[in-house]
Structure 1
Amino acid sequence: MLILISFFSCKKDSSKNAINYAYIGGEIINPGTNFVVLSKGETILDTIKLDGRNRFLYKIDNLQEGIYKFRHAGEYQMILLEQKDSILFRLNTLDFDGSLVFTGQGDKKNNYLINDFLANEKEEKYIVKLCQLNPIEYQKHIDSLKNVKTKIFETFKEKYETSTLFKKIAQLNIDYSYYSNKEVYPFFRYDKNKADILKSLPDDFYDYRKDINYNDAFLSNYYNYNTFLRHNFSNLSLKRHNVHSNQEAFNRNSLCYNLDRLKLIDSLVTNVTIKNHLLYHFTINYLSNGKSQKKNNAILKSFLNKSNDEDDKKQVTSYTKSLNNLRKGLKLPNVKLVNYNDTEFAINSLINKPTVVSFWSHDYYDHFKDSHNKINELKEKYPEIEFIIINTDGCGLDKSKKMMNSHRFDITNEYQFKSSEKGIAVFAIHPITKAIIIDGNKKIMNSNANIFSVHFENQLLGVINK
């Protein structure tokens, strides 16, 4: 890192006349790929290769001050860049966010922002417990959390010189985190009757909503804003849904509720980027939990009528088609796999008894570890079940084999897709946690199982006793 810092100094000295630029550089420990992708909003600026030491350095000319995104091996994080910033970061992919540290000119504001991000992640787990309180007590607790953040922010401003842009973003962080905590309250309460929870709220509980801009172009790609919008539209749709729903127990996967949500987004959001992000997010989430072809097609139709992103439309249409081909009772699509001896198989040739097919990717390290450990437990408990485990990355056998060996996982029944792109599409792999349960006749029993679900072992017993 000293070499990079020295390089920064030389470059800044030789560029005294140019002010509209910034440098970003870094070092990545345990890299998943040999490059970093840098983007601003929807635009990818460049794919930057790591050198032999897993480092990179990049100059952004004609800088547009604001939030940038750097992505590596499926993970990403935000960075605030302003004129003449020369920011270095160091991270370990095994703890992407938690290990991230910034140095260089512009480091203080970015370390503040990443620490705030990590604090919000911890807070989310605490919020679930707080939501079991009555509305008045809950309000007191989240007001207290906001006050703590505000004091930290004020102390930071007193200690360091800060720009108007940074102060705006830091304040938006505090505000939208607080608003999100308000919006999730009805959903995180364990009570099933959400209509009664909404009625119990103080009249001024959602007063801030009157000042919300649903079309804020400045925040259109900003994490906290988009998180708030997702919670907000879920909550607003809940109230609308309750008007014509007869069910006391709320079902977030009901078609009616999800159609209401897409309609509401369409009616309130005019910014194309924001609208398309929200429509895509909620549609994919619904489909990934859907079990009915008729309902899948209904949500797809609504989505296609509202989105104007042609790529999103193609992806969601393809995803829906694949899900419909994975319905219970159908035969598993016979995709090609290769094992770690580079031998090719059609997947159905491997299935001669009840089988679970699960997936992993280098992009999700914790899931890789946890899923293999869980499957090893399940193998001991259910010898009647075969487990086929597929790496989805398509990055070559050597890398995956090395990862398996480093954790001393057995590579028996471990495979990669012959074509990762085709395999991911055919099996509709979203999220990565999905697993497929197949009976001894190669027929699908459940194409959307989860090995970590409390219901999973009962599902295994069901296919064993079939």
Structure 2
Amino acid sequence: MHIHKVLHYLMFSSAALSLFCSCNKGFKGDNYTAYFGGEVTNPTSPYVLFCRNSEVIDSIKLDANNRFFIKFDSLTPGMYTFKNEPEYQYVYFDKNDSIMVHINARDFDNSIVFCGRGDQKNNFLMELYLKNEDDRSKIFDIFDYDVDKFVQNIDSSYQSREKFYLAKKEELKWDENFDAYAKATLDFHHYSKKEIYPQVHKIRTGEDVVEKLPKEYYDFRKSIDFNNAKLSGYSPFVSYLTHMLNNEAAINYHNHFTEVDLALKTNINKLNIADTLIKNEKVKNIILNSIAFTYLLEDQNMVNNKKFFETYHKYSTDKSKKNEILKIGHAIQQLTVGNALPEVELVDANGNTVSSNTIATQKTVLFFWSENLVSHLMAVHKKVLDFKAKHPDYQFVAINLDKDQQKWVNTLGKYKFGGIVELRCKDFEDIKAKWAITKVHRTIILDSNGKIKNAFTNIFNLNFEDDLKNAPIVKKQEHQHALASR
């Protein structure tokens, strides 16, 4: 796998590797010492976060050479994640593993190479993940196929990956604990395609193929342990459950409902199915929270939100996560048409703090961007410049969501977006909590008094210019059918 990268990586820190080798000797039966280290080129954060089940175990600061190293006196074997925010990836630790990783943050997933004790299993997972990602990038056209051709295509693709999986399993002789993740990476990518097909085929071709599916089409569901707590935070499993619930909860006779009522009924269906299907409390809460986050950020109908919460609270027992959901729900209610935008602190290019309350001295559009999404950075500013020429009665304010002031200033100097007010959020967690910002594509429109005209629009929406001309009511955003899930 990427042999030239491996050779370069092995050369970069021979001293650390020597230490790892010495650590592999003489472990006692009750010793769970483990080591993790590596190098991050072009880092997007000065820290590597080491996490399990979404909880940060340690925050490891990069040194002057962008390297990191940590010893764990006792590390429970299992699956972990490491992050150089906003990107993350998985790493599996067996007892006493000593793992180093090389990352180029500009091409995060494709650049990752592991070495040291425990490296082969992790390199296998990365290679299988990248195979799945490559397959996902080419998948859209096959959803146009008829049922027989579609099944033949995905079965052939699965068999190729299964052959790779079985060969590595035989070669590395890993145990059942690791195999749970290896098999999940193989299987759930395949299962997700089967769940997605009927809906996407109908959207793309207009043909409903549900009645044409073979009787055994969904037989694979019988073999799935929906209560597997070990996989509860593993994205291939969670993504599959999301696709399966989307499929099972779909309402066929949707012409009888308005768009917002359809969204409510569909998402309550998801909650009901999840409660019936999943009995393990941990797994159920993760899935319920996923459904809730997605629904609350797509549908801003206040009456329907209340009905959704009633069902959500009936099933969820996760108090800590529930508080997060409640905060988002509260923030959404504060962002209704006619309300003042809650105050947050922003920063200008000179490092001065600017209150958001002082921005809207005229009709205003707020949009967001990050240096980590360069294509969006360019596209959104270009779009704004076009709207600015057509609507001189509006001011357009760009809010950067990154932490590094100097990198932000340097980026502004590089691109020189004239005529757009450029500010940076001082505290992302604050703006996330008060403005319900969880994705960079959100756009907020204010009137000349700083009151909200539309807090949940998108500058790339086809009807965005209508929002500028009129005083629109808050409406559900167009549903985006996304396949890109880990």
Partners in 1 of 2:240 and 2:63 — Cα distance? 38
Are the structure 2 counterparts of residues 252 and 370 from structure 1 closer, same or farther at C-alpha, using a change threshold of 3 Å? Answer: farther
Matches within 5 A, 1:374-385: 374-383=380-389, 384=392, 385=394
Partners in 2 of 1:285 and 1:261 — Cα distance? 12
Aligned twin of 1:92:
104
The Cα shift of 1:158 comes to 5.4
Partners in 2 of 1:433 and 1:350 — Cα distance? 20
Aligned twin of 1:428:
436
The answer to whether the 8 A contact 1:300-1:316 is kept is no
Aligned twin of 1:236:
248
Matches within 5 A, 1:170-209: 170-191=182-203, 196-209=208-221
Matches within 5 A, 1:102-117: 102-117=114-129
The answer to whether the 8 A contact 1:194-1:249 is kept is no
Matches within 5 A, 1:57-206: 57-157=69-169, 160-191=172-203, 196-206=208-218
Aligned twin of 1:302:
311
The answer to whether the 8 A contact 1:340-1:411 is kept is no
> Does 2:61 correspond to 1:49?
yes
Q: Match for 1:430: what amino acid?
A: T
1:306-333, Cα deviation, whole Å (9 max, x unpaired): 2112222222112112112212343433
The Cα shift of 1:140 comes to 0.8
Aligned twin of 1:258:
267
> Does 2:337 correspond to 1:328?
yes
Q: Match for 1:335: what amino acid?
A: V
Are the structure 2 counterparts of residues 404 and 91 from structure 1 closer, same or farther at C-alpha, using a change threshold of 3 Å? Answer: farther
**Would you say how many aligned residue pairs link Structure 1 and Structure 2?**
457
Secondary structure at the aligned position of 1:103 is classed as strand
Are the structure 2 counterparts of residues 113 and 438 from structure 1 closer, same or farther at C-alpha, using a change threshold of 3 Å? Answer: same
The answer to whether the 8 A contact 2:24-2:117 is kept is no
Are the structure 2 counterparts of residues 191 and 381 from structure 1 closer, same or farther at C-alpha, using a change threshold of 3 Å? Answer: closer
Name which of structure 1's ranges 353-362 and 1-10 shifts more when overlaid on structure 2.
353-362
The Cα shift of 1:426 comes to 1.5
Q: Match for 1:346: what amino acid?
A: S
> Does 2:450 correspond to 1:442?
yes
Q: Match for 1:119: what amino acid?
A: K
The Cα shift of 1:170 comes to 2.1
Candidates 399, 418, 422, aligned match of 1:414? 422
Aligned twin of 1:28:
40
Candidates 369, 376, 385, aligned match of 1:370? 376
Q: Match for 1:325: what amino acid?
A: Q
Name which of structure 1's ranges 338-347 and 163-172 shifts more when overlaid on structure 2.
163-172
Unaligned runs of 5+ in 2: 1-12, 473-486
Secondary structure at the aligned position of 1:414 is classed as strand
Secondary structure at the aligned position of 2:39 is classed as strand
Secondary structure at the aligned position of 1:351 is classed as coil
Aligned twin of 2:237:
225
Partners in 2 of 1:253 and 1:90 — Cα distance? 46
Unaligned runs of 5+ in 1: none
- TM-score between both structures, scaled by the size of structure 1: 0.88
The answer to whether the 8 A contact 2:365-2:397 is kept is yes
Aligned twin of 2:397:
388
Secondary structure at the aligned position of 1:210 is classed as helix
Partners in 2 of 1:450 and 1:426 — Cα distance? 18
The Cα shift of 1:338 comes to 2.5
Identity %: 30
The Cα shift of 1:398 comes to 3.0
The Cα shift of 1:83 comes to 2.6
The Cα shift of 1:271 comes to 1.6
What is the root-mean-square deviation in Å for CA atoms of aligned residues? Answer: 3.0
Secondary structure at the aligned position of 2:132 is classed as helix
The Cα shift of 1:346 comes to 3.2
The answer to whether the 8 A contact 1:21-1:63 is kept is yes
